[in-house]
Each structure stands twice: as C-alpha cells, then as structure tokens.
Amino acid sequence: MIDYIKRVIRSIIRVLARMLDTTSKSKITPNGITLFGVAMHIPIALLIATRTNIWAALLLLLFGLFDTLDGELARLQHRESPQGRLLDSVTDRIKEVLLYTGVAYAIIATGRPYLAVWAVVACGCSLLTSYVNAAGDSIMAGKETKQHAANKTFRGGLLPFEIRMFILLIGLVINQVPLAVIVITFGAGFTAMSRLLRVFNKVAEVRG
C-alpha cells in the first residue's frame, strides 16, 4: 500500500516537473527548487514555534514534496550531478535543524521545558543517520563500483528522512509534537545504528 502511494505521488510530481519545465522554458533549475524549498522551512519552523500547528503541517506537506520535485526536474533537464545530490542532502539537514528548533521553542513555551531535550536529541539522531550514510559512502569510495551505489547503499532503515518528516507532520496535526519527537528520537537512533552495522558488514565483506 505504501509503495503504491509512493508511485502515485511520484507520478504526480513527474507531471508537475514537466509542466514547470515547459512553462518556465527550463529557466527554473533543480537547485533553485531545492533552495526555495529549504527557505520555506523558515516560516514553517516559526509556525511550529508559535504552535500554529495545522498551518505548519500543511506547509510541511506542500514543501516536503519539493524533495521529490527537484530530483524529477534534474532528471528531466539532464542536470543530475554530485553537486546537486550534495546540496539536496545538506539542505535536508538544514530543514531538520530549523524544524526541531521550532519544536524545542514550542515545547518550552508550553511550560514543560524538560521535554525540549527530546527535540535536541531527535535532531542529533536524525543528523547521525545522514552522517553514517555519508561516512559509509566515503569509506566505500572507489571500491566495488558495480555493487555500491553512491548515496544509496546505506540509506533506508526504519526512519529515513521522509518518514521522520511524516511522523512530525502527524504530530502537528494531532497536536502531539512532544510525542512525535520522542518517536523520532528512538526511531532515528535505531536507524543510525542499523546503518552503522550495514557499513561494518560491507567493509568486512570487501576486505574478506
């Protein structure tokens, strides 16, 4: 069911990418979409901080789709590149820092500052999942080029970026943001550890 929903969303985004490319005559670039998407997470973080949760959730859903749109546009315009993948990965981390900062502020404002620590730890665990993926790619650079897909081999796991954002979105909708970041903390921590184990196993396999 989840895979079907992903395929439907990707099909819609693919159509939007073609429309955007046609109407702009290819003047709108994938990197432009990526940067606009991350910039729009600033007002989303402010909405979270002021506990305007429904609007924050709607905008998070809307601009979360930009993560797929820039990739589809890059493929359409034949502009896929290592620089583009790097920018996409870095801006995803910036988004998470912005969002969890907003979450921490909102929790503190409710008079339960002790719960804000979960937002900090959730942010740290989320960043760690990306770091393990990047470190694994760095270690595997130049090795098993046919079997190792850069930036993909160590991805996935229980809570990749898009699932973390979905959990935060649900937390906003049901007004249970502290619970959402607690779930993200444990899920992202588990994801980071499972990716780390995958890196260890892959390195041992190559050396063996």
Residue 179 pLDDT: 95
Whether 105 has a pLDDT exceeding 50, the answer reads: yes
Whether 64 has a pLDDT exceeding 60, the answer reads: yes
Residue 48 pLDDT: 97
pTM: 0.84
pLDDT in tens, 4-39: 666 777 788 888 888 888 888 788 888 888 999 999
Those residues whose C-beta lies under 8 Å from the C-beta of residue 183, and which sit 6 or more positions away, are 167, 171
**In this predicted model, which residue has the larger pLDDT, 44 or 139?**
44
The pair of structure tokens assigned to 14 is: 């693919």
159: domain range?
A: 2-207
- By the 8 A CB rule, do 144 and 208 touch? no
Residue 59: pLDDT band with limits 50, 70, 90: very high
Residue 1 pLDDT: 53
Count, residues in the chain: 208
Whether 75 has a pLDDT exceeding 60, the answer reads: yes
Residue 89: pLDDT band with limits 50, 70, 90: confident
Residue 94: pLDDT band with limits 50, 70, 90: very high
CB atoms within 10 A of CB 181: 29
CATH code assigned at 117: 1.20.120.1760
Interatomic CA distance for residues 208 and 68, integer angstroms: 38
Supply the DSSP string of 165-201, one letter for each residue.
Answer: HHHHHHHHHTT-HHHHHHHHHHHHHHHHHHHHHHHHH
pLDDT in tens, 136-193: 777 776 555 444 444 556 666 788 888 899 999 999 999 999 999 999 999 999 999 9
Those residues whose C-beta lies under 8 Å from the C-beta of residue 111, and which sit 6 or more positions away, are none
Count how many domains the chain has: 1
- By the 8 A CB rule, do 88 and 71 touch? yes
Supply the DSSP string of the chain, one letter for each residue.
Answer: -HHHHHHHHHHHHHHHHHHHHHHHTT-S-HHHHHHHHHHTHHHHHHHHHTT-HHHHHHHHHHHHTHHHHHHHHHHHTT---HHHHHHHHHHHHHHHHHHHHHHHHHHHHTT-GGGHHHHHHHHHHHHHHHHHHHHHHHHHTTS-TTT--TTTTT--SSS-HHHHHHHHHHHHHTT-HHHHHHHHHHHHHHHHHHHHHHHHHHHHHHH-
Residue 146 pLDDT: 45
Residue 68: pLDDT band with limits 50, 70, 90: confident
Residue 170 pLDDT: 95
Q: What is the mean pLDDT of the chain?
A: 85
Nearest residue to 106 via CA among 159, 40, 181, 38: 181
